[in-house]
Amino acid sequence: MLKQFSDLGIHESFQQSLSDLSISKPTDVQEKTIPVVLNKKEDLVVLAKTGTGKTAAFGLPLLQLTDTNEVNIQTLILAPTRELGQQIFTNLHALAAENPEIKIASICGGTPIKPQIELLKDPTQIVVATPGRLVDLLKREVINLNHLKHFVLDEADEMITALKVEVDYIIKVIPKNRRTFLFTATMPGTIKQLIQNYMSKHVIQIEANMETTGHQDIDHQYVVVEPIEKLDVLLHFLNSRAGKRGIIFCKTKAAVNKLAKNLAINKFSSGALHGSLSQGIRDRIMGQFREGHIDILVATDLAARGIDVKELSYVVNYHLPDTYEAYVHRSGRTARAGAKGLSLTILQEEEVIDIADFENELGITFKIFKKADAQSIEENNTLLWAKKIFKTKPNREVSEDLKSQIKTIFHHLTKEELVDKILAHYLTENTTVLPKETVSKKRKKH
C-alpha cells in the first residue's frame, strides 16, 4: 500500500513533472494499471470511479513506452468530447514536461483543419483525438495510423455506443496487432458484450475500488419543488453557496441558455456550455471556469464526462439525467481526488418515484435537501435584487443637472435611511404573494 511510482516501473524522468503536478503517490487504479500497461502484453478493460486518476493511469505508462526514435504515431487516445480531448492532451503534456522529445498532438474538431494537417507532417508519436475529426483526417489520407501500437478509448462505454460509427471506422484502419485499452467509470451490462469486438489480444480486467457501490465522497441529496418555485430554490441554494464553485446540468441546450441568462441577470458569476456554441466560445467559457474566473457552469451533458476542474464543491441536476450512467458521471464532476462534494438533484413531485431506482441501481442513498421556506426565498430574492443594483453599470449618459436634482431629493438622508427608502420602494413594487398552504395541499391530491 506504500507503493511509489518508481515501484510500478515509472522512470526517474517523470518524477519531476509528477511532483510539479503535486502527484505524490499512485492511486489504486494507477497502481493496478501501470505495471500491466508497461508489460507490453495484454489488452485492458479498466473500471474505476470518477476522479480517481484514470488519465495518468494510462498516460504515464504510455508516455514511457513511447519510442522517441520512431517518427510515426504509436499511441491514439479517443475521447467523446472536444473539451475532454483537450484536457487529456494538456495533462499528457504536463506529465511529459521533462520529456520534451515525446511529441503529442491534439486533433479535435471545431478548429481549422489545415493547421492540423500541417502539424501532422511533423513527427508525432501520441495523438489525442475526438472521433469525427480523426475520421475526416483519415478519409483525406493525411494521417497515418499504420504503425499504431496503443489504442485507448476513454469513456469507453460512451465511445462504443454514442460514437460507435466513427469508432468502428477507426478500428478498421488501425493495425490488428495493436494493444487496446478501455477506460470508464460505468459499464452497463448491455455494453459489456460489445467489448470483445474492440479487443485483439488477451484481455485483463481491472477494477479499482469498485467493490463498494457508489462514490464514498459524494453527498447525494434531492429536493422536491413545484415547477414555479424551481428557479427560486436554485437561486437560494446558489446564494447559500456563495464563493463555492459548481456545475448545473440541464437536459437541453435551450434550457442551458435560459438558465444561464437568468443567472447572468441575477449577477451570478456564471457561464453556459453546450454543443451548439462555437468552439471559440466553448474554449473561452471552459478556460474561465478552469481558471476560477467563473464560479458556476451551466451545461448540458457535454460537461458530464471526464471534465476535471479543481475545487468544485457541488453539482446540481436541474433536470434529472436520462440514464443511471449519466447521473454517475455528472455527480462525479465533484468530489475528485479525495475531496468531498454535494450532488443536489431538483425534482418535481411526479419524479420522486425515480429516486428509489437511482438508489437501487447505483447503490447510493439520497438525503432529503431541506427546501428553503417561502420567507427565506423571498428574502433571498430581495438580496439578489440589492446585488443587482450594486452591480449594475450605467448604460447611458445622465446630465449633471438631473443628477444634482436627484441628489437634492436624497440629500438630507443618512446611508441607513437611504437604504430604508429603497427597500420600502422595492417591497411595495414587489408585493410577492407567498405560496399558500392550501395551494400545495390541493395539488397533493393528484
Q: Which residues bind DNA (CB under 7 A)?
A: 80-83, 108-111, 113, 130-136, 139, 162-163, 166, 251-254, 274-276, 300-302, 322
| Cβ proximity to DNA, 91 vs 161, nearer residue | 161
Nearest approach in angstroms of CB 112 to DNA is 8
Query: Which positions ≥6 away from 173 have C-beta within 8 Å?
Result: 138, 145
| Cβ proximity to DNA, 126 vs 170, nearer residue | 170
- Are 284 and 311 in contact by the 8 Å Cβ rule? The answer is no
Locate the DSSP E strands across 133-176: 150-154
Query: Which positions ≥6 away from 237 have C-beta within 8 Å?
Result: 316, 344, 372
Nearest approach in angstroms of CB 323 to DNA is 8
| Cβ proximity to DNA, 64 vs 300, nearer residue | 300
Nearest approach in angstroms of CB 45 to DNA is 22
CA atoms of 343 and 345, how far apart (whole Å)? 7
Nearest approach in angstroms of CB 283 to DNA is 11
| Cβ proximity to DNA, 136 vs 361, nearer residue | 136
- Are 158 and 80 in contact by the 8 Å Cβ rule? The answer is yes
CA atoms of 182 and 152, how far apart (whole Å)? 6
Residue in 130, 153, 134 with CA at minimum distance from that of residue 199:
153
> Largest Cα–Cα distance in the chain?
86
Nearest approach in angstroms of CB 80 to DNA is 6
| Cβ proximity to DNA, 134 vs 153, nearer residue | 134
| Cβ proximity to DNA, 32 vs 305, nearer residue | 305
Nearest approach in angstroms of CB 73 to DNA is 16
Measured CA to CA in angstroms, residue 437 lies from 224, 317, 429, 440 at distances of 16, 27, 24, 6
| Cβ proximity to DNA, 113 vs 204, nearer residue | 113
Task: Report the relative pairing of strands 150-154 and 75-78 from DSSP bridges.
Answer: parallel
Nearest approach in angstroms of CB 162 to DNA is 4
Nearest approach in angstroms of CB 198 to DNA is 17
CB neighbourhood size of 413 (10 A): 12
- Are 93 and 100 in contact by the 8 Å Cβ rule? The answer is no
| Cβ proximity to DNA, 285 vs 294, nearer residue | 285
Helical (H) or strand (E) element with 72: none
